[in-house]
Every structure is written in C-alpha cells, then in structure tokens.
Amino acid sequence: MGTLKIAVQKSGRLSEKSLQLLSDCGIRLSNGERRLKAVSPNFPVEILFLRDDDIPQYVEEGVADAGILGQNEVWEKNKDVTEVKPLGFAGCRLSLAVPKDALYTGPDFFNNRKVATSYPVILQKYFDENNINAQIETISGSVEIAPAIGLADGIFDIVSTGSTLQINGLKEVEQVIKSEAVLIANKTLTPEKQEILDKLLFRIQSVRNAAENKYILLNAPNESVAEISRILPGMKSPTVLPLAEEGWSSIHSVIREDTFWDIIDKLKALGAEGILVTNVEKMIL
C-alpha cells in the first residue's frame, strides 16, 4: 500500500491540535523533532510540516495529498482543492473592527474608508456582496495597530476572545464568517490514496463521535425504566440490568454532552440515583 501525505501547520495551537487528533486516531509518528516531516510506523501516512498559508497550494499541486488547516486559509488562498471535513477545533471568527470611539452605523461605515487585513480575498468578497466601496490595505501582521498609526480606519482579522481588540482600542462591529480546522484533499487522488483517506476519515469520525457523547449509567426504580429509556435512547436502546435490590435496575446509555444538563432534572424526578457520566474514548456507529 502507498502512503498518504498530509500537510499540517508546523507550529502553533492548530498544529498541536492536529497532531493530537492523529494520535487520538491511533496514528503514531516516528519523528519527535518535526523539522520537516514525520512518518507513521502503524498507519500509511507521512506528515509534512508547512506554513499554514502554503498548505492549500501544496495540496492543489499534489505535493501533499491532504492537509489540516483553518478554513480561513482555505478560503483566502482559493485553491482548487476539496474541503473534505470540518474537524471541530480551532474555532474562530473573522470580523471587522473599528476604533472604540468611532460612530459605527452599519457596514456602510466602510464606504470610502481604508481597512487593513491579512485576508483581502475574503474581505473583498464581503464588500462586493454588500456593495461597499472600500480600500483594502493588505498587511501580513500586527493588523490591530493599523488604525492607531493612521494606516486604516478599521481592520478585518481573526477574533477568538476579543481581548486583543480591546487592548488595541478597537471594537468588533461585524462578524463576517466563522472558521474552524478542516481537512482538505487533492482533487485527483489515486484510488489507493483515496482508500487510505477514507480509513482516516472513519477514525476521525469515531473520535468526533466520542468527543460529542458521554457514557451514562444510573440506578432507577423499575416503574421508571420505560420513561428513562425514552429520554436516554442511546445508539439503539439503553442497556437495562437488574440490580440485587428487588424493584431496581441499572440503566446504561450514551448521551450527547450538550444535552445532558438539560435532562438531568428529568432523570432525578423519575427517581434516578447514582448517576455516573464518563468519557467515551472511541465510538463506532
């Protein structure tokens, strides 16, 4: 079998999260230094460590077969690649911001003004869609200081918490797009490499399923088992086991983490006791 070459960011939080995802998928990497590339001894992949803004081009040209990076870089570079799967981490938003004391009345504020950004392609598309005639100043870093030094009237940049904007005397006024880490692929993969990618996608989905769900077990009186089973359907149906104490059962199921706190009071009202919730390492559907 051949090898699937996957490009990941060479440093930073997204790089660490990408490598953690591969590790969670059971993929070991042999090169701890991560200078240029690493190979896996137990899965047919080779990892290339590149600048994130170079990854779309390398994937388009087939230097790498696939890549893990932020959607914002995929959209900005606008290369001919396939966006295979969002990965659920490294979430952020790209927003317009202006000085705190600016009287902002809406997107028309930017008409005939200058906006500094490292993402001119995404920003120009937004301006075109909203019939805004603004001048885009493209800079590669320190976008937040542009208004303070007189380079621009506002900025367009990645926002995570908004604290950087506040430090630089700016306020977020328009959220343009949301972005997260994504897996991209070359559009002309060989059948052999596509098979490897499909196996990787299966593992990624199993890890994602596990991250989004919790294993729950509880004790309940038998007369409440049917109603609790309705609330906790599990993947097919809950596992119900009799307890040594007559009239009671143990119920085991899987529940989405984002719904657990919404139904905990319902479970308690039905007499559920000894409720335990644990992480799921892998979840194969």
Q: What is the CATH number of the domain that holds 29?
A: 3.40.190.10
Return the pLDDT at 283: 82
* Structural domain includes residue 100: yes
The answer to whether residues 219 and 154 belong to one domain is: no
The answer to whether residues 173 and 58 belong to one domain is: no
The answer to whether residues 96 and 85 belong to one domain is: no
Cα–Cα distance, 126 to 267 (Å, whole number): 47
The answer to whether residues 84 and 185 belong to one domain is: yes
The number of beta carbons lying within 10 Å of the beta carbon of residue 215 is 17
Domain housing 130:
92-179
Mean pLDDT, residues 162-172 taken together = 92
* Structural domain includes residue 128: yes
The answer to whether residues 217 and 106 belong to one domain is: no
The answer to whether residues 153 and 217 belong to one domain is: no
Give the predicted TM-score (pTM) of the model: 0.83
* Structural domain includes residue 206: no
Question: How many domains in the chain?
Answer: 3
The answer to whether residues 56 and 96 belong to one domain is: no
Return the pLDDT at 129: 96
Bridge partners of residue 216, in order along the sequence: 253, 277
Residue 109, CA atoms < 13 Å, CB-side half-sphere: 17
Task: Say whether pLDDT at 160 is over 90.
Answer: no
Return the pLDDT at 31: 63
Q: What is the largest CA-CA distance in the chain?
A: 78
Q: Are strands 66-70 and 4-9 parallel, antiparallel or unpaired?
A: parallel
Return the pLDDT at 256: 85
Task: Say whether pLDDT at 206 is over 60.
Answer: yes
Return the pLDDT at 70: 96
Tens-place pLDDT, residues 80-89: 999 999 999 9
The answer to whether residues 45 and 100 belong to one domain is: no
Query: What CATH number corresponds to the domain at position 235?
Result: 3.30.70.120
The answer to whether residues 69 and 105 belong to one domain is: no
| 273-279: strand order across its sheet | 239-242, 248-256, 213-221, 273-279
| Residue 177 φ then ψ, to 5° | -145, 160
Mean pLDDT, residues 73-93 taken together = 95
* Structural domain includes residue 201: no
* Closest of 27, 67, 21 to residue 43, by C-alpha: 27
- The distance of Cα 111 from the centroid of its chain, to the nearest Å, equals 33
Tens-place pLDDT, residues 235-252: 778 899 999 999 999 999
* Structural domain includes residue 96: yes
Task: Say whether pLDDT at 1 is over 70.
Answer: no
Tokens for 153, please give them: 């009237």
Return the pLDDT at 217: 92
User: What percentage of the chain reaches a pLDDT higher than 70?
Assistant: 98
Tens-place pLDDT, residues 214-237: 899 999 999 999 999 888 876 778
The answer to whether residues 185 and 156 belong to one domain is: no
* Structural domain includes residue 203: no
Lowest-pLDDT choice from 39-48, 116-125, 133-142, 225-234: 225-234
Average pLDDT, the chain: 92
Task: Say whether pLDDT at 138 is over 90.
Answer: yes
- The last residue of a domain, from among 156, 189, 222: 189
* Structural domain includes residue 226: yes
